[in-house]
Amino acid sequence: MIEPTLARPSIDPTLKMLLDSFPTTFNAADGVEVARSRLRQLKVPPELLPELRTEERTIGHGELTDIPVRIYWPPSDREPLPVVVFFHGGGFSLGDLETHDPVARAHAAGAEAIVVSVDYRLAPEHPFPAGVNDCWAALQWVAENAAELGGDPSRIAVAGDSAGGNLAAVMAHLARDNGGPALRFQLLWYPTVTADLSLPSHTENAYAPILDRDVIEAFLSWYVPDLEITDPKALPTTLAPANAADLSGLPPAFIGTAEHDPLRDDGSRYAELLNAAGVPAELSHEPNMVHGYASFSLVIPAAAEATNRGLAALRNALHA
């Protein structure tokens, strides 16, 4: 007797309708400016954005002193507030403070925390490790200046989506290995952490919306142009944090993944590795979502539900 095959969950219909109306995919031949333009087209109606106090600054630490950031303060009577350092996604090549303004606002409001969103340098103009260096300098600056912002330096978390999830995970490793700053939590939205393109989700979602095989190849060609990934396990932790020989001592994590995402198995694998190393890691798999769902949380109810699960975990960790 042949066992029946379970049908794969479909993409949320409201989200699919939105995705079908926008051309989001591209390849390396299109060029990075085409890709950046397409990302900028995805905008949230201003009236849906939480109203928060914000400030633009240029910060840095050590030799890196010209990193733009946007700081968000939630409406709150608590003082001091925890601080979340947020790193935007976009394959290390796209995105900025504007494209991820709605996501950063959601973190500030949802976690009742000050958010410092980092506008790190992008490839191909600034390939690896320029972005890593900027993010590390920004995290150190936040730790040293949290009190001046009205924040609590003992309650700092990192968060990021996609490539930003990679950078947030890398920051957790750097903080652990360099004696601080001590991090309370890491919130990783559909992160790229293994660099293993042989994982099943890369094949199953080779033609998925938002992020497909061509898009991934373009990002890699821009971020690490001279790298051939013959053995992903040989890559440094600053590229693939899942490769660290020791994952113990890292901050607790919430990892959000989506069924219709090539990076689905990246996140689930990292959660397994963290838990095996004694690091509490909650995996929240969203069966009807695609890569980038946090960016749609203000307009798609199912994406809002998925995003709120991670923001609740972040809030609980910072206000425990």
The residue with tokens 């051309």 is 23
What whole-number distance in Å separates Cα of residue 232 and Cα of residue 247?
A: 17
Tokens of 307: 């995003």
Q: Would residue 162 show up in a list of annotated catalytic residues for this protein? A: yes
What is the C-alpha to C-alpha distance for residues 88 and 156, in angstroms, rounded to an integer?
Answer: 17
In terms of DSSP bridges, do strands 253-260 and 185-189 run parallel, antiparallel, or are they unpaired? parallel
Question: For residues 28 and 22, what is the distance between their CA atoms, to the nearest angstrom?
Answer: 19
Q: 282 and 253 in contact (C-beta within 8 Å)? A: yes
- The letter for the amino acid at 16 is K
Marked catalytic residue, from 162, 221, 295, 297: 162
Residue 44, CA distances (Å) to 49, 103, 111, 296 in order: 8, 10, 20, 8
* H-type alpha helices, the chain: 13-20, 32-40, 101-111, 130-145, 163-177, 200-204, 213-223, 264-276, 301-319
3-state secondary structure of 274: helix
Tell me which amino acid residue 42 is.
L
End-to-end CA distance of the chain: 53
The helix/strand/coil state of 210 is coil
Distances (CA, A) of 250 to 127, 160, 180, 281, 318: 26, 16, 11, 10, 16
Question: What positions carry a catalytic annotation?
Answer: 162
